[in-house]
């Protein structure tokens, strides 16, 4: 019998959320503190100083559960993932109104093209827009090109269209941005941009819908899985995926990818899934 999945267990090892009373032996139980990611991107780690599990993005909502020096244990609201972040990457809660709808944007100190940007903002970053100044959107932290933003609730036409923005993005294990992304991060980003919920890792994504039998045709937006890998179906015998083969995000024939992965010892396709269309949560 296996224990609870630590990726989604809101328990730092000493402090847990109140909802876990009677389920874990914690030194303390807390209601948690609402917060937001206050850095363009931050690594979410299983232990302070450990390699990343995933990344969280500017404005992502968090529940703070525990603090230990310069580290904070949190649960990400967008998918339930838990882990440790640098305390400097955690800020106060606020109400976002918009998201970055392109692969990346910049935050500027003034609405001027020649101003030196303060930060690179990743696709999916959540911002509170106060107003506009010409072609610029004003936020409490600075200015962003308004053309790069979409109001929360104005979604991409589908995950396939959203995923296309990441073509050519370098592969990065645990990555979730246009600077580096992995296979499951790409699928989650594409579905979230289309306003649809999606778990963070490929093993959980493989349980996020119904099985498409071999005799049934795949549709754009379906997911194809191998052991430790997932690809997004874009058309007949066509996929888009972030792959360590070439360390990039690319379009490929499904038949070619399946043959290549099998020849490299990665085994056959393990599942073909049509994800459930569950609306994403609030901003």
> Taking a C-beta distance cutoff of 8 angstroms, is the pair 152, 129 a contact?
no
pLDDT of 1 reads 46
Domain 98-151 indexed as CATH 2.30.30.40: yes
Indicate if 183 belongs to the active site: yes
* Gyration radius from the chain CA atoms: 19
- Domain ranges in the chain with CATH number 2.30.30.40: 6-92, 98-151
pLDDT of 120 reads 98
Q: Which of 106, 148, 192, 229 is catalytic?
A: 229
Strands 61-68 and 71-76 turn out to be: antiparallel
Residue 147's contacts (CB-CB under 8 Å, 6 or more residues apart) are 135
- The pLDDT tens digits for 140-163 are 999 999 999 999 999 999 999 999
Q: Which of 45, 123, 183, 192 is catalytic?
A: 183
Instruction: For domain 6-92, give the CATH number.
Output: 2.30.30.40
Q: Low-confidence residues of the chain, pLDDT below 70?
A: 1-2
Q: Which of 123, 148, 192, 241 is catalytic?
A: 241
Indicate if 45 belongs to the active site: no
Instruction: For domain 159-275, give the CATH number.
Output: 3.90.1720.10
SS3 of 13-35: the string is CCEEEHHHCCCCCCCEEECCEEE
Indicate if 229 belongs to the active site: yes
Structure tokens at 83: 């882990």
- Domain ranges in the chain with CATH number 3.90.1720.10: 159-275
pTM above the 0.75 mark? Answer: yes
């Amino acid at each position: 019998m296996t224990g609870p999945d630590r990726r989604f267990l809101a328990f730092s090892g000493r402090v847990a959320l109140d909802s876990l009373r009677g389920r874990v032996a914690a030194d303390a139980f807390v209601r948690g503190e609402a917060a937001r990611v206050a850095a363009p991107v931050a690594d979410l780690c299983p232990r302070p100083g450990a390699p990343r599990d995933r990344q969280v993005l500017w404005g992502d909502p968090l529940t703070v559960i525990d603090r230990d020096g310069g580290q904070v244990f949190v649960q990400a609201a967008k998918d339930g993932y838990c882990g440790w972040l640098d305390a400097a990457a955690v800020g106060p809660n606020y109400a976002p109104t918009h998201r970055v709808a392109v692969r990346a944007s910049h935050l500027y100190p003034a609405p001027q093209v020649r101003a030196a940007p303060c930060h690179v903002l990743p696709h999916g970053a959540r911002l509170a827009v106060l107003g506009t100044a010409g072609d610029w959107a004003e936020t409490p932290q600075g200015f962003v090109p308004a053309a790069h933003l979409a109001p929360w609730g104005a979604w991409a036409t589908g995950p396939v269209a959203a995923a296309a923005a990441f073509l050519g993005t370098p592969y990065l294990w645990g990555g979730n941005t246009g600077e580096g992304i992995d296979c499951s991060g790409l699928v989650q980003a594409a579905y979230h941009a289309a306003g649809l919920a999606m778990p963070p890792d490929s093993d959980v994504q493989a349980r996020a819908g119904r099985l498409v039998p071999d005799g049934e045709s795949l549709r754009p937006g379906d997911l194809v899985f191998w052991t430790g890998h997932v690809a997004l179906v874009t058309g007949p015998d066509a996929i888009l995926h972030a792959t360590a083969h070439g360390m990039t995000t690319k379009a490929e024939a499904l038949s070619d990818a399946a043959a290549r992965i099998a020849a490299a010892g990665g085994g056959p396709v393990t599942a073909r899934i049509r994800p459930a269309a569950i609306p994403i949560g609030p901003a």
